[in-house]
Copies of this chain bind each other. A is one copy, B any other.
Amino acid sequence: MAVRLKDIARELGVSLITVSKALRGASDISEKTRERVLKRIAELNYRPNMLARGLASGKSNIVGLVVPDLLHPFFAEFAKSLNGVLRKHNYGLILASSEEDPVIEQQEIRTVLARGVDALLIASCQTALRGFYGVEDQRTPFILIDRNFPHLRASFVGTDDYRAGMMATKHLLAGGRRRIAHIAGPELSPGIDRLRGYKAALVEQQRRVPRGYLIANSRVEEAGEAAGYAGMRELLRRKPRPDGVFCYNDLTAIGAMQAAVEAGLSIPDDVAFVGCGNIRYSDFLRIPLSSIDQSTGQLGECAGDLALELMRDGGRPPQHIVLDPRLVIRDSSVTPKR
């Protein structure tokens, strides 16, 4: 097998302990011995067995991430930047996907915890808080990402979705739209809060939230385009039809725009669209999509930093990090200047 501390120790005529200490930069070791050991360690390309170290020290140097769908650009980007932060601090990342299924999610959480992760990040798809029994009573610090549970005393890193919904809707109002619809997301905090923001923006401008202009999206996020397409088809049957649509996310918006174009409408003249998430491709779509940017990369970094903090000091009280969304205006909501 691989080289072990014991081998190096014997070779160098010192004890295993001394090698271990040199490796970890302990203070009670002479400069000379340390160098001698480190030199040999480098030559042999030795790497400590992290399983053994984890078992002995109680620290695995691994963080667990449970997301509903890796393919979704939001989670992919989040995972990427989280990973970047962790790598710099010598933490590994163990990844699990729940496929938007609360049952799978619970299993995954259990197995990830059994692997002894030092912290757990979860974008949960539990609609009931109960799913979190078993995470709470672990010692392992955990952080909710993107999707919050207001009544759970836990750390959270995510977007101010209420403001996101409000900004999007206000933007449509400012563009002179009067009949603004919303294709909503699943009943988790982002969907709920964006919807609240949408409603609040309308109310603030003394408008009633129009009946029938609100499409509840029962499907999972994964089928974003299909849900958006179906939602828009429904909206197109309304009389009068909406002249602006705020969509739960960009995938939904893409599907919705597709339906509008197929119905012979012109975007944004007949109907304007705003999405959320500002995915990389928004700029290159048939009609470039206005969207709410969530600074996804930054969210990943924040979550990583917070995880590192919590691992250093487990007693720290839960923290909430909520980033402000930013509106990115493109052709789908504003007639391009000519």
Q: A97 contacts the other chain (Cβ, under 8 Å)?
A: yes
**Contact pattern, A 83-101, Cβ under 8 Å of B = 1, otherwise 0:** 1100100101111110100
Q: How far is the CA of A4 from the CA of B130 in the complex (A)?
A: 25
Q: Which of B79, B84, B280 is in CB contact (< 8 Å) with A99?
A: B84
Q: How far is the CA of A233 from the CA of B258 in the complex (A)?
A: 30
- A93-B95 in contact (CB<8A): yes
- A115-B92 in contact (CB<8A): yes
Tell me, rounded to whole Å, the shortest Cβ–Cβ distance linking A62 to chain B: 7
Q: How far is the CA of A116 from the CA of B92 in the complex (A)?
A: 12
- A83-B62 in contact (CB<8A): no
Q: How far is the CA of A296 from the CA of B332 in the complex (A)?
A: 31
Interface residues of A in 125-182 (CB under 8 A from B): 134, 138-139
Q: A254 contacts the other chain (Cβ, under 8 Å)?
A: yes
Interface size class of A (residues with CB under 8 A): 35 or more
Q: Which of B48, B95, B257 is in CB contact (< 8 Å) with A79?
A: B95
- A45-B114 in contact (CB<8A): no
Tell which of A22-30, A65-73, A188-196, A209-217 binds the partner: A65-73
Q: Which of B50, B87, B94, B254 is in CB contact (< 8 Å) with A116?
A: B50
- A93-B94 in contact (CB<8A): yes
Residues in chain B near residue A21, CB distance under 8 A: none
Of chain B, the residue at the smallest CB distance from A287 is B286
Interface residues of A in 18-53 (CB under 8 A from B): 45, 47-52
Q: Which of B73, B77, B110, B285 is in CB contact (< 8 Å) with A286?
A: B285
Q: Which of B60, B83, B97, B281 is in CB contact (< 8 Å) with A281?
A: B281
Of chain B, the residue at the smallest CB distance from A54 is B51
Q: Which of B55, B104, B134, B284 is in CB contact (< 8 Å) with A52?
A: B55
Residues in chain B near residue A280, CB distance under 8 A: 71
- B284-A50 in contact (CB<8A): no
- B112-A95 in contact (CB<8A): no
15 residue pairs of the A-B complex, CB under 8 angstroms, read A47-B111, A47-B113, A49-B116, A51-B115, A52-B55, A55-B55, A70-B79, A71-B77, A71-B280, A73-B73, A90-B111, A92-B111, A92-B112, A281-B281, A286-B286
